[in-house]
Structure 1
Amino acid sequence: MAVNLAQIRDLLLPGLRGVTGKYDQIPARWPNVFSKGKSNMALERTVSMRYLGLAKLKTEGGQTAFDNGAGERFVYNQEHNEIALGYAITRKAIDDNLYKAQFQPSNLGLMQSFAQTKEIYAWNVFNMANVYNPAVGGDGVALCSTAHPIDGGTFANMPSVQVDLNEASLLNAMTTIPVTFLDNAGLKTFARARKLVVPNALEPVAIRLTKTELRPGTADNDVNAILSTSGGLREGYVVSEFLTSNFAWFLLTNIEGLLYLERVAFETDMQVDFTTDNLLVKGYERYSYGYNDPRSIWASFPTA
């Protein structure tokens, strides 16, 4: 049923002091954590390759060792979602509304609805980072796992025991990433933590850890090692209202792997239905959020 007179009955009479219900919107957070790209296909696939391993010791007169194991290892899939929303409003509701400036029939917050939907889809990559999604494929485990397979072993981008965010756990993660993030051949990568990602509940902790010059939470005169260890968190921290856990926290690294792909940009359309005179308004876009390299993130999922 279209929005009709009964649904805006108080807007038909003079004397209203004002009309409320529209609020400032949360700024877009997802651009702080995802790389952005355009897509020309319904399904985008990214291949993770294995390059050469370590060089081998050669004896005098002996043969050179050959490494012929290079090649494709994992394929990450990213399929786009169609996002759409519309509404109808009767002609009488438009004609008889005395407060069109405050309640504009052609703009009932469609852009805001799409923007917040986009945030939910984006941050769901983080909220579900410890759950394997077979549609993504990849290396066969969740985005954040203690056992990402590589040739001859595994590497972890989360602790074996989930830990709360504090000075010790953050420093441990920052020093672990450069040592344990290996490529598919088992070689060390130049991986460094660059940004802390937290829910609203952990913002005070993030501020204390990343904004103090001296060691946080102590009376010592030590410097705050978080600011310099492995290059420090050069991009600081970001807070998201759309993280569903009050305890989970994440580190983004300098390795790209979290990706937003836009297939069809946000568009709107409007027309008057010939038979009913209802105004029809709709919006549409097509996109996806995904990942193609677990080395782009480190996470901990404590439950309390």
Structure 2
Amino acid sequence: SLVPTNTANTLGQIRIDHSQCPSRGNLYQIFVAPDSATENNAGGPQRTVYVGVSTDAKTGLPSFTFSDHKVFTNPTGSLGAKNGAGNIFPALATDDLGYLYAVWSDNSNIWFSSSSNQGAAWTAPVLVNSGATVGNANVFPWVAADANGHAVVVWLGDNMPGNSNDSSKLEQTCSNGTNSCWAKWSVYAAETVNGHSAAPAFAQYTASDHIIHYGTVSTGGLGGNANRNLADFFQVALDRQHRANISFADDHVHSPLCTSQSPGHCADNDPQSFREGVPYFTYQLRTNPHIVTSGVCAVAP
């Protein structure tokens, strides 16, 4: 099993290396946990990001093993230590040359680290989001990768600071009785073509063409009182032209069921209107011209 075995883990994606490199078939599992069993027993936050690596899963034997490697531990007192590194969830991708990319959220910002030796060691985390998004609520990171160092990170971000679960900050009472002063959420994407360098450069875009949600966004699963309309419906994939394809949930308009579920409250800007998340899809129109498809495979540990 993955270690530390006595901690509460939050799992992200399982990834299999499909490259033509010696790392082909490696199995990777990203997760977050307290930094030690002692911290877990004391109710500590899930402040450490790990990746479990199996190099023998590809052998086809009835059992296989994992070696767990620490990606990053959020320092005591940081937002990552206060809010944890789940926010949900941590995410992982492998590119066509066997390089690995891990992303996570401290609820305020999105962080990125890479491994050039099959998960054994990781670069110092770099901030993905930029500009006006820095310091606001930024959650639900996902990542996809394909060509040499090409990775796209997507996430949900709002327009004001405060924890995504905090209604006292993100759902204040508006003077006009609407939700116009609530946090406004958009879908963001950031693309890099040198993802496995020590200092990858990201170009950030707003992927949604409208506000997709107002108010809080729950990162507590079924727990807590924050809004869960968007659930966990959010993904990104890269097509054969290396373009990002993004699916996400959206509840910016009221549900047709509002007449029965919230009688008298069916306006799009009414805080009491019944809403349901519905699927939306968008994709990148042009391929990044700086993508490099050839290169050297990730090295062995």
**TM over 0.5, yes or no?**
no
- Please report the TM-score for the alignment, with normalisation by the length of structure 2: 0.25
Higher relative contact order (CA 8 A, sep 6+): 1
- Please report the TM-score for the alignment, with normalisation by the length of structure 1: 0.25
